[in-house]
Amino acid sequence: MKRREFFRTASAGAVGAAAAATGLAAPAIAQGNITWRMVTTWPKNFPGLGVGAQRLADRITTASGGRLTVQVFSAGEMVPALQALDAVIDGAAEMSHGTPYYWQNKSQALSFFTGVPFGMNSRELSTWIRYMGGQEIWDEVYDQFGIQAFLSGDTGTQTGGWFRNELTGLADLKGLRFRTPGLGGKVWEKLGAAVTNMAAGETFQALQSGTLDAVEFVGPYNDLALGYYQVAKHYYVSSFVEAGAATELVVSKAKFQALPADLQEIVRLASQAEYDQMASDFYANDPRALQALVAEHGVQVHEFPEEILQAGANAAKELLLGLRESGDALTKKTTESFIEAFKVLRVRTEQTDAPFLAARKKYFEI
């Protein structure tokens, strides 16, 4: 989808939804059926992420036979993108769809459930959350705010970002105004960049106007639609700070627990199904979008210089060790759990998956 098309759709939808929202002060309940509102951090019809949020809502609605109908409000239709979580906490909505590291101002522990610099890939992350205590810690963190969350989408390993000029080393990062969130943003700060976070719908204009010198969002599938190539031609793959970024479905804990057991299970299973489907969506469309960026728009693809990678790894280690000694008990607990699981899971990835991929790349063409 072209950038103009989905933003034009988003604008039109926002007008209608804003009018409709005035009549949605409370969840609609009729003949035992419930309507919940999902606010998202994504533009309407946004490839992968926005489409995935809508698909998740539709899954829940269909699987429940309409007993739990989920209405989606894209970024700006009910609340601004980066106020989506607060809308659930405050009771203005029952659900939100975003990504945990957007809320690190509430708890630094939350960044671990999206992506950690030089950390877990998406398979490792979901294993930690599902089988090695991650979900239970995530529940503890969000319990402070009366909410709970489920993995709801997987972008896979993201790309490193768009830069106006080619990067030759660390000196090029000094004072660079860079949109990048989460713990990865903190690593880039340690490398000298001036880091900020902003919603997807704001990033192109900020890059175009010169408010930003560089921007990263997800990867080719989203980036082609956002149009970054019109301003910056140097595209870095792959990211060393977001190896397996995940999205979340957040629900009001009290309202979720008040649902019948079967509806609770539908929400859980629908979230798990969408986590897996979104991964395939990005895997299918990222390579094709990258091909278009290079062939049709003259984008130059790079890997980060070794000097930046080494400094980034050192900064990431320093950051994680600092969080492990954090005065905040839940951040410390989360960090320790993540590191313990990472030490186990990376053995499987590096001793089994990595050698196969290296051999396939070197020897197998078809």
Give residue 19's pLDDT. Answer: 37
Res. 109: pLDDT tops 60: yes
Q: What is the CATH number of the domain that holds 111?
A: 3.40.190.170
pTM of the complete model: 0.90
Cβ 52 vs Cβ 277: under 8 Å = yes
Using alpha carbons only, how large is the chain's radius of gyration in Å? Answer: 20
Give residue 326's pLDDT. Answer: 83
Is residue 164 in a domain? Answer: no
Res. 195: pLDDT tops 60: yes
Give residue 13's pLDDT. Answer: 43
Write out the residue range of the structural domain in which residue 138 sits: 3-156+244-285
Is residue 138 in a domain? Answer: yes
Give residue 23's pLDDT. Answer: 40
Is residue 343 in a domain? Answer: no
Domain count, the chain: 1
Is residue 223 in a domain? Answer: no
Buried b (16+ CB within 10 A) or exposed e, 197-212: ebbbbbbbebbeeeeb
Strand order in the sheet with 214-215: 194-196, 177-179, 214-215, 161-163, 234-236, 300-302
Which amino acid would we find at residue 202? E
Is residue 202 in a domain? Answer: no
Question: Which CA distances in Å does 302 have to 157, 226, 306?
Answer: 16, 20, 12
Nearest CA-CA partner of 272 in 126, 61, 110, 119? 126
Res. 10: pLDDT tops 50: no
3-state helix, strand and coil shares in percent for the chain, rounded to the nearest 5 = 55, 15, 30
Is residue 115 in a domain? Answer: yes
What would the mean pLDDT of 265-283 be, rounded to a whole number?
A: 98
Give residue 295's pLDDT. Answer: 98
Mean per-residue pLDDT over the chain, rounded: 93
Res. 1: pLDDT tops 50: no
Any idea which residue has 């199904």 for tokens?
273
What would the mean pLDDT of 158-184 be, rounded to a whole number?
A: 97
Is residue 310 in a domain? Answer: no
Is residue 78 in a domain? Answer: yes
